[in-house]
Structure 1
Amino acid sequence: MPLHLAAMNGHVSIAKLLCCFGANVNATEGKYGRTALHYTVERRHPAMLHFLVSQCGALTEAETYSGYTAHQMAMAAEPVLAALLADLGAQTRPCLLEKFSSDDEDNYVDSNLSLAAPWRPQIDKNTSLTNEALHLVA
């Protein structure tokens, strides 16, 4: 998503063009459900943060698939950005993370995969059969 890339890299001028041409500032990417604002906070770009919220109407309460708002991520990563978000109207919520990183959401997903543990023998059996078939074909 072009706006996400501009936000990640702090390119406000590119973000302005994208927003002028109708980019959805609150669109979420598929893996974690992050908006451009989440990426802006993660990469610590205060000018981009101010632009997205004040001029593009980025929703400060948008949550990732794991339930994190940009403000919660900012509280864990960069308190100055958390204060800026609060000044721009973001609701403050308790931050459950000491330090936020992309790996936190990967770990969240990995921990939920343990719920599939009872199916593991069947998965292993199917994988083994598939691998045997592939070796026969090769």
Structure 2
Amino acid sequence: MDVVSSDRRSAMMARIQGRNTKPEMVVRKIAHRLGYRFRLHRRDLPGSPDLVFPARKKIVFVHGCFWHSHEGCRFAYKPKSNIEFWESKLRKNVERDIRVKGELECMGWDVLIVWECETVDNDLVVAKLRGHVGHDHD
């Protein structure tokens, strides 16, 4: 049972933004500190990727565990009310993620997903970015 009314819950969920989230800011800060330069939310690319490294043809998406159904993650819970709506919404998000990743890869981009739950571990994010983007600096 939800502790807030459905109208209040709806208003809370509607306020959630898709960009400049705390996890995204963590990844951006680390990427910048590593010396990487990137573009943000390129709307000319499928999915408007969070970080784009044009010279390297690399892309990083920072996915919220709930919104993108991070498998096996405790933050990717299934809501207990309005079940049909949420199952459909989350399934469509995952389907869109798969489609967008495929479109970007067909265009020659290399795509990395950093999950929200991973952003609490700076060393992990550093390792993932270095492994994906590379060690050298532009």
TM-score range, shorter chain: under 0.3
Structure with greater helix percent: 1
Q: Kindly name which structure, 1 or 2, has the bigger radius of gyration based on alpha carbons.
A: 1
Which gives a bigger RCO, structure 1 or 2 (Cα 8 Å, sep 6+)? 2
TM norm structure 2: 0.28
